Chains A and B, each alone.
Chain A
Amino acid sequence: MSRVARRRGGRPEPPLVCRWDLDKTYLRSEFETIRQLLRTAFERGEDKVDVPGVVELIKAIRDAAERRHQPCRTLFVSASPPQIGKAIRAKLDLDGVPYDGIVFKNQLQHLRPGKLRNLREHVGFKLVALLRGRLEEPPEARELLFGDDWESDSLIYSLYADVIARRVEGVRLERILRAVPVDPELVREVLALAARAAGADAIERVFINLERRTPPSIFRSFGQRVVPTFNYFQTACVLGGMGRLEPADVVRVGQALVGSAGYTPRRLENSLGDLVRRGHLPLRDAHALISPLRKAGLVPGPLRASGWRRVLDAVERLRERRRRVVGPSPEETAVDYEAILERLHTATPAEASGGPA
């Protein structure tokens, strides 16, 4: 399973950087109404609620990296104002989550005349924060990004990944940012930072927590790098498939969901089946996970074994057919940002709010 370790042989692992969004990704924040927004702003650390499994997942990623003697940094980027930083830090401390930094969006700075639009503008802010963060890491650092389907995380993270990998640069990047539209001042800042930060193809995966249950097909245009997941057990399974987690780590996340979030073995089994059907977890990796999960009582026992077998057989047929139809892996196809933005700009408000931007 530890493909990462195998691939790199005896050489030291490059550092792993995990960048997390806060609201709706780590925290179950509710700010659909003014009242909820105010409540969130004044909540104390102990009142804040984390998304089930996220704490164990963060710890598991760090522990797995540590076992491989790989430096691992956990960073949070939030569009919330720094004024709630105290409560956030208290919450992270309560959860025992080790982290290396939090970037907040300085909302007060945007209250200046002519800057009000920036209060709602996340693309420019987050890109700047990500690129600045990238410059602080060694060039060989690998990254995993975690966001949700409430704001524009899939777009921002994909753009960041392609900028870092030099797939999107210069005039095209500027055109995309203006089409979003990002504030001109931030466009200039992004372009300057991008020129300095661009280097290796460092972003391994972008995980999108489907908190709003946005249809997964919406994210297909971002390619296979973007993995929409319905719960953190699914995220852990994909990381297991990538070799970033061992089966025991995946079990640990599953146990957290069963132990404290009311999940049942059948729900976990169904989650795993869905992930394989959507093509985000190779069948052989799902096979590798099933035995330890069953041993831990996290998927139904021998009686359901034949059920799982049937699921796998069906999925194999499905994927085989897909391979024939789709042709090259989506990982090899470039993201067509112009088409994505065009679609978002022509979408109805309801469609746009359900989508990734």
Chain B
Amino acid sequence: MPTIAVDAMGGDLAPDEVVKGVAEVSLTTDIECLVVGDERRIQAVLEGVSYNPEHIAILHCADAIGMAEDPREAVRTRHDASLIVAVRAAADGRADAVVSAGNTGACVLACAKHFRLLRGIRRAALASVFPRRTEYAGQDRLALLIDAGATVRCEADELVQFALMGHAYARRISKVANPRVGLLNMGSEPMKGGDVLVEARRRLSELPQLNFVGNVEGNELVGGRADVIVCEGLLGNVVLKLIEGVSEIFHDLSSHAGEHKLAWRLGLRLLSQEIERLRELTDYAQYGGAPILGFDRLFLKCHGRSNARAIANAVKVAAKAVRDRVPAEIADALSSLR
């Protein structure tokens, strides 16, 4: 069984929700969790919930990087911070992957400092899933967006590598045999989007191992046209936050609409089942974390506000990615470029 290092102190709801997530995993799976953080606080949370100690080890460290800290400075100076210790544990081979809900910038930089980039990879990428419509039976109801913020600006080379990494990850984790890959752009025509995107599109269409469907526009993101959507980090991050924001507005509207008019309240009651399904669909907690791809080790970055369920799902996804040898799959995919 894989060992997953979990940064117990990272995230807005840490350590309570993180440790509860680990406890949940320990009861339902054989995954070994190496919980990294203040052992006194970790133990205090553990003893108040159901857990199975056979699958939990605690690695003490006194420090933690805050969500609002400068990532560069934190990674450079805070050697005993839980995130850094967890990443080092994976780099040393004591864990197979890392899960953290902590400071995203610090997560990416810690990986860059302690993990090795796979041969041929220039930049790492943060891949994130989001809900979308499906076009055919059996299609995964989640699409993968890569990069969601690890590399702010990219060259065409890097976008091609992201496509291959996303393709390999989707094949393994989403079990899509031949995922459809699209390039996020402002138009479907080949010449749209500027030099970098034009060049990236040209090169992606020449790769026989990719099922490349061309440019994907913003309004097609939530359709089923592409399973993997490639973009630079800045754009990807904006897209994800937009989807999240729209989802939150919808939740707010549906919660408060009924307060104003009886007719709306009745309507909402009639639609309650569908609304609940929509809520489930847009609930990030059930999707686990976003993998940082391109390194020899796996890192799953969870939402900063992750609750126990989100952490538990991220640990399960990390274990699955380890078992399915995702880094090796990515390395194989990239070797075709050389």
A277-B39 CB under 8 A given contacts A213-B50, A217-B48: yes
Contacts of B43 in A (CB 8 A): 277-278, 318
Most chain A beta-carbon neighbours within 10 Å: one of B48, B49, B57, B59 = B57
Contact A311 B58 (CB under 8 A): yes
Closest partner residue, chain B, to A219 (CB atom): B47
- Given contacts A215-B47, A217-B47, A277-B39, are A267 and B54 in contact (CB under 8 A)? yes
In chain A, what residue has the closest Cβ to B32?
A266
B176 near A: Cβ within 8 Å?
no
Quick check: B57 and A214 within 8 Å, CB to CB?
no
The count of chain B contact residues (Cβ–Cβ below 8 Å) is 20
Q: For chain B, residues 38 to 63, give those with C-beta under 8 angstroms from any C-beta of chain A.
A: 39-40, 43, 47-60
* Most B CB within 10 A of own CB, among A212, A213, A268, A311: A213
Known contacts A213-B27, A215-B48, A310-B59: A230-B40 contact under CB 8 Å: no
Contact of A230 among B49, B53, B57 (CB under 8 A): B53
Interface membership of A152, Cβ < 8 A = no
The docked-state distance in angstroms from the alpha carbon of A214 to that of B27 is: 11
B119 at the binding interface (Cβ < 8 Å): no
CA A268 to CA B55, docked complex, whole Å: 9
A215 touches B50 (CB 8 A): yes
A214 — which chain B residues lie within 8 A by C-beta? 50
Partner of A267, one of B48, B55, B58, B59: B55
Complex contacts, B50 vs chain A, CB 8 Å? 212-215, 354
| B78 on interface, CB distance cutoff 8 Å | no
Question: A269–B55 Cα gap in the complex (Å)?
Answer: 10
B116 within 8 A of A: no
In the complex, A317→B56 CA distance in Å? 18
Rounded to whole Å, the gap between the CB of A181 and the closest CB of chain B is 28
Contact A278 B47, beta carbon cutoff 8 Å: yes
| Nearest A-chain residue to B89, judged by Cβ | A307
Bound form: Cα–Cα A317–B60 in Å:
10
B263 CB, nearest partner CB in chain A, Å: 37
Measured in the bound complex, the distance between the Cα atoms of B36 and A314 in whole Å is 11
Contact B48 A277 (CB under 8 A): no
**Contacts across chains A and B counted by CB atoms under 8 Å:** 66
Would you call the interface of chain A mostly helix, strand, loop, or mixed? helix
A270 touching B54, Cβ below 8 Å: yes
Q: How far is the CA of A231 from the CA of B52 in the complex (A)?
A: 10
Q: Which residue of B lies closest to A275 (CB)?
A: B53
> Is B94's CB within 8 Å of the partner chain A?
yes
Whether the pair A270, B48 counts as a contact (CB closer than 8 A) is no
| Complex contact B32–A318 (CB within 8 A) | no
User: Assuming the A-B contacts A230-B53, A267-B55, A271-B53, are A318 and B48 also in contact, with contact meaning beta carbons closer than 8 angstroms in the complex?
Assistant: no
Q: Which residues of A contact B49 (CB under 8 A)?
A: 215
Contact partner of A270 among B39, B47, B57, B60, CB < 8 A? B57
Q: CA–CA, A268 to B54, complex, Å?
A: 7
The docked-state distance in angstroms from the alpha carbon of A271 to that of B39 is 15
- Contact (A231, B39) CB under 8 Å given A213-B27, A314-B60: no
Report the separation of the CA atoms of residues A216 and B49 in the bound assembly, to the nearest whole angstrom: 8
The answer to whether A318 touches B40 (Cβ under 8 A) is yes
With the chains together, A212 CA to B52 CA distance in Å? 10
C-beta contact mask, A258-269 vs B, less than 8 Å → 1, else 0? Answer: 000001001111
Query: Does A54 count as interface, using CB distance less than 8 angstroms?
Result: no
Q: Indicate if A321 sits at the interface (CB-CB under 8 A).
A: yes
The residue in chain B whose Cβ has the minimal distance to the Cβ of A310 is: B59
A104 CB to nearest B CB, Å: 31
Residues of A within 8 A of B51 (CB): 213, 215
Q: Which residues of A contact B56 (CB under 8 A)?
A: 270, 274
Q: Is B53 touching A270 in the complex (CB atoms < 8 A)?
A: yes
**A236 CB–B CB distance under 8 Å:** no
A274 near B59: Cβ-Cβ < 8 Å = no
A315 at the binding interface (Cβ < 8 Å)? yes
Known: A217-B48, A278-B47. A270 touches B27 (CB 8 A): no
- Nearest Cβ in chain B — how far from A314, in angstroms? 4
Could you name 8 residue pairs across A and B whose Cβ atoms are closer than 8 Å?
A213-B50, A215-B48, A215-B51, A217-B48, A271-B54, A273-B58, A313-B60, A318-B43
Residues of A participating in the B interface, judged by any CB pair closer than 8 Å:
212-217, 230-231, 263, 266-271, 273-275, 277-278, 307, 310-311, 313-315, 317-318, 321-322, 354
Minimum-distance CB pairs A-B, first 5: A274-B53, A314-B60, A267-B54, A213-B50, A217-B47
Q: Using a CB–CB distance below 8 Å, which chain B residues touch chain A?
A: 27, 32, 39-40, 43, 47-60, 94
